[in-house]
């Protein structure tokens, strides 16, 4: 799934955001940094993302987590411009 998301597939990005924000059992614990990142990337990719979801995730994050995630978002977007 991460490979598809990394290739710019918006639905895969949304799916990964959900997995990370909710946690997927024992194998994938909640990770708001990655969840926020993938949700924001899906939004930038043109997927129909409810902005309230982004706001709600951001409320659960520390300032340091937000900074880390936004740094990863910028990096991903800079490296994948042709895939959007």
Other Cβ atoms closer than 10 A to 14: 21
Q: What is the pLDDT of residue 83?
A: 61
Mean residue pLDDT across the chain: 90
Q: What is the DSSP letter of 63?
A: H
Q: How many domains does the chain have?
A: 1
pLDDT band at 25 (very low <50, low <70, confident <90, very high): low
Checking if the pLDDT of 28 tops 90, the result is: no
Element (DSSP H or E) covering residue 28 = none
Contact 57, 36 (CB under 8 A): yes
Least-confidence region, from 8-17, 21-30, 39-48, 61-70: 21-30
Report yes or no on whether pTM surpasses 0.75.
yes
* Domain boundaries, position 39: 2-83
């Amino acid at each position: 799934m991460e490979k598809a998301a990394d290739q710019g597939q918006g639905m895969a990005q949304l799916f990964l955001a959900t997995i990370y924000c909710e946690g997927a059992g024992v194998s994938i614990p909640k990770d708001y940094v990655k969840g926020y990142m993938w949700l924001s990337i899906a939004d930038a990719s043109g997927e129909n993302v409810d902005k309230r979801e982004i706001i709600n995730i951001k409320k659960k994050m520390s300032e340091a987590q937000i900074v880390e995630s936004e740094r990863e978002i910028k990096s991903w977007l800079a490296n994948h411009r042709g895939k959007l």
